[in-house]
Amino acid sequence: MNRRKVIRIEASSPTIDCGAYPVKRIVGDELTVTADIFPDSQNALRAHVRWCDGRMPTLAWQVLPMTHNDNDHWQASCS
């Protein structure tokens, strides 16, 4: 029987009105994204942040790997 894998993501930051609006930064300013990520098992886990530059006409998404800090806390930074 195939069991569905569940991953919980909590305490993500930064957010504006619980994710209702996109987070914006001035070009060159650093953006640090954090989240608490909990898998349903002890399997290895990877996390990524997807972001796009609103100035680009095609809105090409960029992928930034997150690093595992303490316990279930993950973080990624870009500028």
pLDDT per residue, tens digit, the chain (79 aa), is 566 678 889 999 999 998 898 888 887 889 899 999 988 777 778 899 988 776 766 667 889 999 998 888 999 998 7
Number of domains comprising the chain: 1
Domain assignment present for 61 = yes
Q: Specify the DSSP class assigned to residue 9.
A: E
Domain assignment present for 73 = yes
Q: Could you tell me the pTM of the whole model?
A: 0.76
Residues pairing with 61 in the sheet: 52
Structure tokens at 65: 């790997």
For CA atoms 12, 16, 17, 19, give the dihedral sign.
negative
User: Residue 44's domain spans which residues?
Assistant: 7-78
Which helix (H) or strand (E) covers residue 76, if one does?
strand 73-78
Domain assignment present for 45 = yes
Whether 45 and 2 have beta carbons less than 8 Å apart is answered as no
